A and B are shown apart, each in its own frame.
Chain A
Amino acid sequence: MTYSPDGLRSGSTSVANAAAAPYPVVIVDAEGRVVELNDSATALFPAAHAGRPLPSPEWLTAPQRTPGATTVTGTVGERFFSARPSPLPGGRAAWWLVEETAYRSALKELEGERERTRFLSEASSALLSSLNLNRCMEVTARLAAEYLADAAVVIAPTTARKLPMVMCDRQGRLTRATVSSEPETVPGLAEALQGFPPVPSRWIDPATAPDWLVPENFGEVGSLVITPLPGHGVPAGALILFRRAQKAAFSESEEAFAGLFAARAGAAMSAARLYAEQNTVSDILMRALLPPALQQVEGVEFAGGYRPSVDTDRIGGDFYDVHPPGEDSPDTFAVLGDVAGKGLEAAVLTGKIRNTLHALLPMADDHGRMLRLLNNAMRNSHSTRFATLVLVSASREDRDVVLRLTSAGHPPPLIVRGDGTVEEADTGGSLVGVLPTVSSRTARVRLTPGESCLLYTDGVTEAKGGPMGDTMFGEQRLKRALAECAGLPASAVVERVQMLADEWIGGGVHDDIAVLAITAPRGAHLSAVDGTTRGRYTA
């Protein structure tokens, strides 16, 4: 290597500085042949020879042969440089090399960090969106397979013998399965499921991963990471990441990052599990309180409709129930009522009333007695609430339906006749749950085919709204609506009334609304040929 201090020192001012510059400086002629190098450049290019082009790298030597070249960048060995030419007399150029290795790696790290933050934030919003455990598991597996590994498996702990599991491969294909083997067979898995600290992946021999754990057609497992999914203080499951044999194993920072992701996924899965548990409890408790699905019973059509005052609720203080005839009660029994108050507390009392009446069915031949017993039962309980209700006993007499109706402090049922006339049933009585004694008057009503009896709660008639927004729906409007319902099946009567009330209310607030229609079917008359037999009806 030749070095000519004179040349560098004796030139122009800028060249004179170059010899002492803290940067590698290479002076080349117009053909790219090295003229001189300073100390740094000599150290960087130990194989350089004056009079010959630099032996490498190509990214630097090519522009050095090219007139008018500008800044170029590239690596020299492990280091990264940007090189800038400054023209010298005689077509020569001094190339200044500035090292950017640290800057580059910082940039790369920043980029990586940004990528991770973006991923975590996207993952968080994807995970937060669902409160369903299966969906959360799927989202976790999909995100992990997309960003962290070649494939991912999520296992949720349950008290059941089999563990539910979701797999996702790089193509985003999800597979659901259950783990029937013991999790202890996989090193680190049982620990992760019990919430112990993760076993470092270098301790786990990928070859020991059992077939059921590895996604189908995955090929040889190069490395795997088993990370616990920490929930809200309790283990929410385990996340297993796979990498193929051809690829580099998981680095420590990758493992740490998987832990960050797992914390978010675990929290989401834990929330979903809590939500599901709460729902299971409330669903079970609520099942007995939900209004029953109704249909035709013993040749009498029943249809009901219910709308709680709060849209998110499914139950409230109004109720109805229908019991088919039994051993001790020859008639079909129905009830519709309204407990003072709204919401869950009122709903609980409706459940008690329904149960009590169910037990009292053998006394349904005497509505007054039933109401007295119910009144006693309600007064003896701790509840201070009262209720109004209508009791109905229905039976077929030939094609007609005969009803016994008893109102206890409730709006009287409305009867829709075949010609569109609407009558109030002549029944009345005191409400139950407050007074020491109750009295009532039972009405007997005969419905011919196509006629209906409507039981409703005051949520219908006291609904406020209408086109002007401040009018009560009222009994007259209800009667007018019912007049159009002559001859309709019970379900159509209920739908009509519910719809009118709903439209009347519009976006306003309202009380619980319950409607129950009892209709004598219009069944087609098939054969009463001789006029003396009862004939056969399709109903």
Chain B
Amino acid sequence: MTAAPATDREHGTGRPPVRTRPASPHGDERAREYADELWTAVRAADEYSAVDLVTNALRGGLDTETVLLDVIGAVQRKVGVEWAANRMSVADEHAATAINDRAIATLPVHRPTTARGRVTVACVDKEWHALPARLLAEVLRLRGWQVDYLGAQVPTAHLVGRIHRAGSTVVCLSGSLSTRLPVAHAAITAVQATGVPVMVGGRAFGFDGRYARLLGADAWASDARGAADRLAAGPLPVPRPPPQAFDDLPHLADQEYTLVTRCARVLVRRTFQDLEQRLPAMRDYTDEQRERTAEDLAQIVDFLAAALYVDDADVFTDFLAWTAEVLTARGVPAHAVLPGLDLLDGQLRDFPRARGLIADGRDALGPFVRPRSAPAP
């Protein structure tokens, strides 16, 4: 296994490719310049310059929505890219997000003049990447909605309570990690059960929103602008969820998702023990390295479970390809992942769907693994 520094579980599949430019999709050259400057300030952890810069951008004539999405949003996208390329540590990323958060807080407060309706914006439970949801909340406020912004990792029970209290007419849910898809599904059906439609967004739901449709969301948006435009176009239809949440996912009847999820810790422990037997080098690992290895295994099992839930190998293979890319960027050979996959495969002998996914995962690692370093099966 990897024993490489920090393949933290808060990152994963669906990250942008390693080399992309921080871009303002709406092509405002000035916004791009401000974004480049903000990036410099964020990189230097210089909160005060960041705040000044946002103020200047507004004075210079950029409207608040452009500052939010094409300056701050663009920088935040770059943060993800830089992290994946190992040019930024996890701690740096937290710092950058904190500074962006502060920059948003300095934007002028906009009070809706005429109430367009009440929107609840939240991240699904266990989702810590709050900034995309926050940007959406701010854009909706600018466009005249009353917004109830609940922030990161909102437990579903809490979300439902807030909907009853606030009387929201629509809920926007954000999720960036595909491992949160089962939790997201629970949140979607719980909200719909209150008669309120749900729009979802974020990388977790696929670049084309395929998992949004699969999980029965009433709408999907690829970004904050798209979400705000969709809400402006008219109310979402009243949801008619199926009688049981799992009617949409008949493949779950094979219980593979349930069993893999419930036994995840045991699976990790056994695979780890097997790995110790197979790789003598592990005996010299420090405690920290051993823990990293176990964490990597746990992450593989998490993504495997998510792929079982939506019955889509892409969730698993995208994650492995992304891991390989990150490992390569950090100078760790990608084939380090393979022994873990093999041993996991051995543990899951009675799970045909899971084994199929692992086989797909091995194929996905192909391009990253040089033939001579491929381990014997």
Give the shortest distance, in Å, between B337 (CB) and chain A (any CB). Answer: 15
**A524 interface hit (Cβ, 8 Å):** yes
Q: Mark B114-155, 1 if CB is under 8 A from A, else 0.
A: 000000000001101000000000000000000000000101
B85 to chain A, nearest CB (A): 18
Cα distance A230–B129 in the bound complex, in angstroms: 46
B-chain residues with CB within 8 Å of residue A499 when the two chains form the complex: 10, 128
Inter-chain contact A489/B165, CB cutoff 8 Å: no
**In the bound complex, do residue B167 and residue A134 qualify as a contact, i.e. CB atoms below 8 Å apart?**
yes
CB-CB under 8 A for A275 and B195, given A467-B268, A522-B47? no
Asked whether any CB of chain B lies closer than 8 Å to the CB of A130, the reply is yes
Question: B94 contacts A488, CB within 8 Å?
Answer: yes
Could you say which residues of chain A place their CB within 8 Å of the CB of B166? Answer: 132
B48, B101, B157, B297: which contacts A523 (Cβ < 8 A)? B48
B260 to chain A, nearest CB (A): 13
CB of B350 closer than 8 Å to a CB of A: no
B residues near A467, Cβ cutoff 8 Å: 265, 268, 272, 291, 294-295, 297-298
Given A132-B167, A489-B45, A312-B157 contact (CB < 8 Å)? yes
**Among the listed stretches A17-25, A182-190, A479-487, which one makes contact with chain B, having 4 or more residues with CB under 8 Å of it?**
A479-487
Does residue A491 face the partner (Cβ distance < 8 Å to B)? yes
A135-B167, A499-B10 known; A487 vs B95 contact (CB < 8 Å): yes
Whether the pair B128, A132 counts as a contact (CB closer than 8 A) is no
Q: Are B9 and A503 in contact (CB under 8 A)?
A: yes
- Choose one: A131, A470, A488, A495; the contact of B164 (CB below 8 Å): A131
Per-residue A-contact encoding for B233-271, CB less than 8 Å = 1, 0 else: 000000000000000000000000000000011101100
In contact, A489 and B294 (Cβ under 8 angstroms): no
Bound together, the chains give a CA A523 to CA B166 distance in angstroms of 39
- Which single member of B89, B196, B291 contacts A466 (CB below 8 Å)? B291
Q: Which residues of chain A come closer than 8 Å to B291, judged between CB atoms? A: 466-467
State whether B194 touches A466 (Cβ < 8 A): no
Contacts of B53 in A (CB 8 A): none
Decide: A485 and B91 in contact? CB cutoff 8 A. yes
Of B45, B164, B288, B297, the residue contacting A130 (CB under 8 A) is: B164
Asked if B219 lies at the interface with its beta carbon under 8 angstroms from chain A, I say: no
On whether the beta carbons of B91 and A503 are closer than 8 Å, the reply is: no
Say yes or no for A502: interface residue by CB 8 A criterion: yes
B294 engages A468 (CB within 8 Å): yes
The size of the chain A interface, using a CB distance under 8 A, is: 42
Q: How far is the CA of A539 from the CA of B125 in the complex (A)?
A: 35
B307 is an interface residue with CB less than 8 A from chain A = no
Are B195 and A130 closer than 8 Å at their CB atoms?
A: yes
**Nearest CB on A from B87, distance (A):** 16
- CB–CB A480/B193 < 8 A: no
Quick check: A492 and B165 within 8 Å, CB to CB?
Answer: no
Q: When the two chains form their complex, are residues A538 and B48 in contact, meaning their CB atoms are under 8 A apart? A: yes
Q: Given A488-B95, A489-B45, A538-B48, do A468 and B165 touch, yes or no (CB 8 Å)?
A: no
- Enumerate chain B residues within 8 angstroms of A466, measured Cβ to Cβ: 291, 294-295
CB-defined contacts of A132 to chain B, threshold 8 Å: 163-167
How many chain B residues touch A (CB < 8 A): the figure is: 46
Please indicate the chain B residues that have their CB under 8 angstroms from the CB of A538 in the complex.
48
A469 at the interface (CB under 8 A from B): yes
Judged by DSSP, the binding face of B is helix
Shortest CB-to-CB span from B88 to chain A, Å, is 12
**Residue A311, interface by CB 8 Å:** yes
Please judge, given known A-B contacts A524-B48, A538-B48, A539-B48, whether A492 and B268 are in contact too, CB under 8 Å. no
Assembly CA distance A133 to B167 (angstroms) = 8
| Highest count of chain A CB atoms <10 Å: which of B10, B46, B98, B268 | B98
Q: Is residue B99 within 8 Å, beta carbon to beta carbon, of the partner chain?
A: yes
Given A468-B268, A468-B269, does the pair A312, B161 have CB atoms closer than 8 Å? Answer: yes
Please give, as numbers and ranges, the residues of chain A lying within 8 Å of B45 by CB-CB distance: 487-489, 522
B158 proximal to A (CB < 8 A): yes
Evaluate contact between A502 and B128: CB separation under 8 angstroms.
Answer: yes
Chain A positions 466-523 with a Cβ under 8 Å from a chain B Cβ: 466-470, 480, 484-489, 491-493, 495-496, 499, 502-503, 521-523
Query: What is the CA–CA distance of A521 and B51 in the complex, to the nearest angstrom?
Result: 14
B49 interface residue, CB < 8 Å from A? Answer: yes
B262 CB, min distance to chain A CBs, angstroms: 10
* Bound: A139/B195 CA distance, A: 10
Bound-state Cα–Cα, A530 to B287, Å: 51
A129 is an interface residue with CB less than 8 A from chain B: yes
Tell yes or no: B97 within 8 A of A by CB.
Answer: yes
Chain B, 289-305, CB within 8 A of any chain A CB: 291, 294-295, 297-298
Kindly list chain A residues whose C-beta atoms are within 8 Å of the C-beta of B126: 502
Q: Which residue of B lies closest to A142 (CB)?
A: B238
Q: Which of B95, B161, B196, B297 contacts A492 (CB 8 A)?
A: B95
Our pick among B48, B89, B193 for the contact of A484 (Cβ within 8 Å) is: B89
Q: Flag whether A279 is at the interface (Cβ < 8 A).
A: yes
- Cross-chain pairs A/B with CB under 8 angstroms, 8 sampled: A126-B195, A276-B165, A311-B158, A314-B158, A480-B288, A489-B95, A489-B99, A495-B97
Closest 8 CB pairs of A and B: A469-B265, A311-B155, A467-B298, A467-B294, A492-B94, A129-B195, A492-B98, A131-B164
Known: A132-B166, A134-B167. 15 other contacts (CB 8 A): A130-B194, A131-B164, A311-B125, A312-B155, A467-B291, A468-B268, A468-B269, A469-B269, A484-B89, A484-B91, A488-B98, A489-B99, A491-B101, A492-B91, A492-B98
Residue positions of A touching B, CB distance < 8 A: 126, 129-135, 139, 272, 275-276, 279, 311-312, 314, 466-470, 480, 484-489, 491-493, 495-496, 499, 502-503, 521-524, 538-539
- A-contacting residues of B (Cβ < 8 Å)? 9-10, 45-49, 89-91, 94-95, 97-99, 101-102, 125-126, 128, 153, 155, 157-158, 161, 163-167, 193-196, 264-266, 268-269, 272, 288, 291, 294-295, 297-298
